[in-house]
Structure 1
Amino acid sequence: MSEGAEQHHQHRDVTGGWLRPSVFGAMDGLVSNFALIAGVAGGTDNTKVIALAGIAGLAAGAFSMAGGEYVSVASQRELALAEIAVERRELERHPEAEQEELAQVFVSRGVTPELAAEVARQISANPAEALEVHAQSELGVDPHDLPSPKVAAGSSFLSFGVGAFLPLLPYLVGVTSLWVSAILSCLALFGAGALVSRVTARSWLYSGLRQLIVGVVAAGLTFGLGNLIGGSGL
């Protein structure tokens, strides 16, 4: 094999229906419940109240994230299906115009007009293939690989629950100090950020520190607010 021969490679998944909600769900669960627990702990020493707040934050956040992701992805999918249906009708009613439109797409990408016309003709001979190519070139979607609302909702629910459970865990096993929850949460924040770097172009150290700083700032501000309100006797 010559040095100039093609070397096959694989790309990481950047459009999967589970990755984005899983990552954001875990991060959001960890940061929001850590901040919530810190805020309540700043206003009271009652560990039962703190634990109850953490449980409520976990449940409310997980259901909210799942519901939000389901509606968001379902709406996105429905819009894509509606536009694909429009394209399907156009292919049925005006096949020659759609074929010319496809040829112009290839020409705009550097293909000669003669070759573009021939490629468009061959693709248009297969209606299913023509619909797929038109959808990808005009809408930027694959009719056979649309995101799943159920996958997005399930991923969000589980990942948020896992993230939100970590700062709550020490209180569930009888620990009464916020510091234990804070240390566990900080380790989880850095670890989660470092893990995300495996699917991004950032280094594990940068991603870990960025997530740690965001979480600590959020928890610190909420703790201060809780301490202020708790100290005022409200």
Structure 2
Amino acid sequence: MHTHPLAHPHDPHRITRTGWLRAAVLGANDGIVSIASLIVGVSNASAEPRAVVVAGVAGLAAGALSMAAGEYVSVSSQMDIEKADIRRERRSLHSQPDIELEELVRIYEARGLAPGTARLVAVELTEHDALGAHVRDELGLTEVMAARPMQAALASALTFSAAGSVPLAAALLAPQGSVAVVVWLVTLLALAALGAIGAIAGGARIGRGIVRVLVWGSAAMAITSGIGHVFGIAA
């Protein structure tokens, strides 16, 4: 069987990871930050250990389900839009093929092909797979970038649960009276690790990934901690 050579077989393109990686990083980041923020806020408002544990467990369960549902609904909406555009393109190819061909020619000319070459490419691709050519080159949709609701939902829910269990475990193991401090420290380490993992998986700079996650995660925890402190004093 004939196979096509690859320019870099040992270093594949990372764009193929876009769908699940986005949902996984989002779920993990939300799991760490939201559960840690919840625990820190509750611990500042109430010194009762049971209240902290109950809040953390409830937040973990509710958050995982919410992330899964949110990802599924949002990505399903994206998929509906993609399908609607493809249906419209199919109808247009049937009713006005000449206009659609000229659209392809202009697209290829805009990308740098000479007019004659652009027309030749457009004609040959139209004869081979007209709908596929328009979906790819006019709409910008590919199999790699296609919306996958269930994949996004599962990736988000699983990573939320796994990452959210880190600050919850820290709270359970922390000495009484120092829950907030321990959760803060553990969460910052977890966020740094998440930033590094996400950067490596996406082929980005590790330092930038770590800083980005730490800054926003710390800000969220600080705000929640302040709110919990205010309500604790008020109580």
Return the TM-score normalized by structure 1: 0.87
Matched AA of 2:150: K
Q: CA separation of 1:13/1:175 partners in 2, compared to 1, >3 Å: closer, same or farther?
A: farther
Q: In 1, distance between residues paired with 2:190 and 2:93? A: 52
Matched AA of 2:220: A
For 1:111-190, list aligned pairs within 5 A.
111-126=113-128, 129-142=129-142, 146-173=146-173, 175-176=175-176, 177-178=178-179, 179-190=181-192
Which has the higher mean CA deviation after the structures are superposed, 84-93 or 30-39? Answer: 84-93
Contact 2:135 2:141 in 1 (8 A): yes
The C-alpha deviation readout for 1:145-181, integer Å capped at 9, x for no partner, is: 6221000111111111112111101344575331332
Q: In 2, distance between residues paired with 1:45 and 1:207? A: 35
For 1:1-234, list aligned pairs within 5 A.
8-9=7-8, 10-13=12-15, 16-126=18-128, 129-142=129-142, 146-173=146-173, 175-176=175-176, 177-178=178-179, 179-200=181-202, 202-233=204-235
Q: CA deviation at 1:80?
A: 0.5
Question: Superposition RMSD on alpha carbons, in Å?
Answer: 2.3
Q: CA separation of 1:15/1:98 partners in 2, compared to 1, >3 Å: closer, same or farther?
A: farther
Contact 2:60 2:161 in 1 (8 A): yes
Q: CA separation of 1:116/1:218 partners in 2, compared to 1, >3 Å: closer, same or farther?
A: closer
Contact 1:65 1:153 in 2 (8 A): yes
Matched AA of 1:208: I
The C-alpha deviation readout for 1:78-130, integer Å capped at 9, x for no partner, is: 1101110111111122222222221222122222222222222211112xx22
Contact 1:132 1:143 in 2 (8 A): no
Contact 1:135 1:141 in 2 (8 A): yes
Q: In 1, distance between residues paired with 2:234 and 2:144? A: 58
Q: CA separation of 1:93/1:198 partners in 2, compared to 1, >3 Å: closer, same or farther?
A: same
Q: CA separation of 1:56/1:96 partners in 2, compared to 1, >3 Å: closer, same or farther?
A: same
Q: In 2, distance between residues paired with 1:218 and 1:12? A: 30
Q: In 1, distance between residues paired with 2:169 and 2:124? A: 61
Q: In 2, distance between residues paired with 1:112 and 1:97? A: 19
Q: In 2, distance between residues paired with 1:21 and 1:106? A: 33
Count of aligned residue pairs for this structure pair: 226
Percent of aligned pairs with the same amino acid: 38
Query: Which secondary structure does the structure 2 equivalent of 1:8 belong to?
Result: coil
Contact 1:30 1:166 in 2 (8 A): yes
Query: Which secondary structure does the structure 2 equivalent of 1:110 belong to?
Result: coil
Q: In 2, distance between residues paired with 1:60 and 1:90? A: 45
Return the TM-score normalized by structure 2: 0.87
Contact 1:74 1:149 in 2 (8 A): yes
Note the residue ranges of structure 1 that are not aligned, 5 or more in a row: 1-6
Q: In 2, distance between residues paired with 1:175 and 1:151? A: 39
Q: In 2, distance between residues paired with 1:181 and 1:153? A: 27
Which has the higher mean CA deviation after the structures are superposed, 207-216 or 66-75? Answer: 207-216
Note the residue ranges of structure 2 that are not aligned, 5 or more in a row: 1-5
